[in-house]
Amino acid sequence: MRPGSQIPPLLKVLNSEYPYSVWIDFCLTPEEYFLLHQMFLVLPKTWIEWCEKIVTNKIKRGIKIKNPLAYRHNLLWNGIVNLEEIKFIIDILENSFRKIFVEYLDDNLKYIDYLRQLIPKSEKNNQKLFNEHGWDFVMCLSFYQLTETMIRTWFGIKNTPVKYGFFDYFQEKNLKDKNLFKKDMKYIRKRRNEIAHTKMLFGKDVVMKVILLANKWLTPLNVDVIHYVNRYRTYRPDYLRDFDAYLRHLSSRKQIVIKY
């Protein structure tokens, strides 16, 4: 860190902590110090670590980075944009599955108690699942509970005359295997949990895989994932138009005033 009064107090504190110290050492101007100050106030440390891991691996492979700080900023921003897009795609997937779940339940409402017994238990919403009337409880299901119950009713509802299940919603021959559905949903849930717990950001490879999996399972449901993705990219939320807007968005949610 270069001496000077323009350095925010937060950066002086973080200058001895990895990976913050690496980013701070590359600062040359007051503007760069201030941007890092904004970032470190509101962004999870795990996101900075994710970027630094990628940079370290590139350097180990002999790749030279001309502008280390700008490169890290671009890497971080692209990771954030990818994360937000993945969230959007998973929301489409989840909402579409809830819709067919409600339709399935509506057709078999008299067996609702049997179906409730197949739902994985959770301390967070267990009481709601059994207190809600009709199919309102579907909105209380977590993504795990939703997809796992679909798997458990793949061929019908156990101990009832109902012999059709979510298997019938996916007419393509290659989508009839519930183990394939289980495998793909496990991947989606893992990405979803990483987002929820701010564990990491994502590269384009993960975005493409999530799009492919969502498209695979939603095409039979007449949901055009590619159309939604293209519209999302055209009309992104205002807070994703640039880095400063995103930082202000996070600051307002956390009620942090960015100044020094």
pLDDT reported for residue 83: 96
Average pLDDT on 73-100 reads 96
Q: Is the pLDDT of residue 120 over 80?
A: yes
Q: Is the pLDDT of residue 260 over 50?
A: no
Q: Is the pLDDT of residue 257 over 80?
A: no
Is pTM, for the whole model, over 0.85?
yes
Average pLDDT on 148-170 reads 92
Domain region containing 188: 9-254
Q: Is the CB of residue 86 less than 8 Å from the CB of residue 195?
A: yes
- Specify if 2 maps to a domain: no
44-60 residue pLDDT tens: 999 999 999 999 999 99
Count structural domains, the chain: 1
- Specify if 4 maps to a domain: no
- Specify if 81 maps to a domain: yes
- With bands split at pLDDT 50, 70 and 90, how would you rate the model's confidence at 259? very low
Q: Is the pLDDT of residue 82 over 60?
A: yes
Average pLDDT on 49-72 reads 93
- Specify if 120 maps to a domain: yes
90-110 residue pLDDT tens: 999 999 999 999 999 888 888
Average pLDDT on 25-53 reads 90
3-state secondary structure labels for all residues of the chain: CCCCCCCCHHHHHHCCCCCHHHHHHCCCCHHHHHHHHHHHHHCCHHHHHHHHHHHHHHHHCCCCCCCHHHHHHHHHHHHHHHHHHHHHHHHHHHHHHHHHHHHHHHHCHHHHHHHHCCCCCCCCCHHHHHHCCCCHHHHHCCHHHHHHHHHHCCCCCCCCCCCCCHHHHCCCHHHCCHHHHHHHHHHHHHHHHHHHCCCCCCCHHHHHHHHHHHHHHHHHHCCCHHHHHHHHHHCCCHHHCCHHHHHHHHHHHHCCCCCC
- Specify if 1 maps to a domain: no
pLDDT reported for residue 195: 94
- Specify if 3 maps to a domain: no
Instruction: Tell me whether the omega of the peptide bond preceding residue 19 falls within 30 degrees of 0, making it cis.
Output: yes
**Among 10-14, 157-161, 174-178, 199-203, which stretch is predicted with the lowest mean pLDDT?**
10-14
- Specify if 259 maps to a domain: no
187-245 residue pLDDT tens: 999 999 999 998 899 999 999 999 999 999 999 999 999 999 999 999 988 889 888 88
Can you tell me which residue has the tokens 């202000």? 248
3-state secondary structure of 118: coil
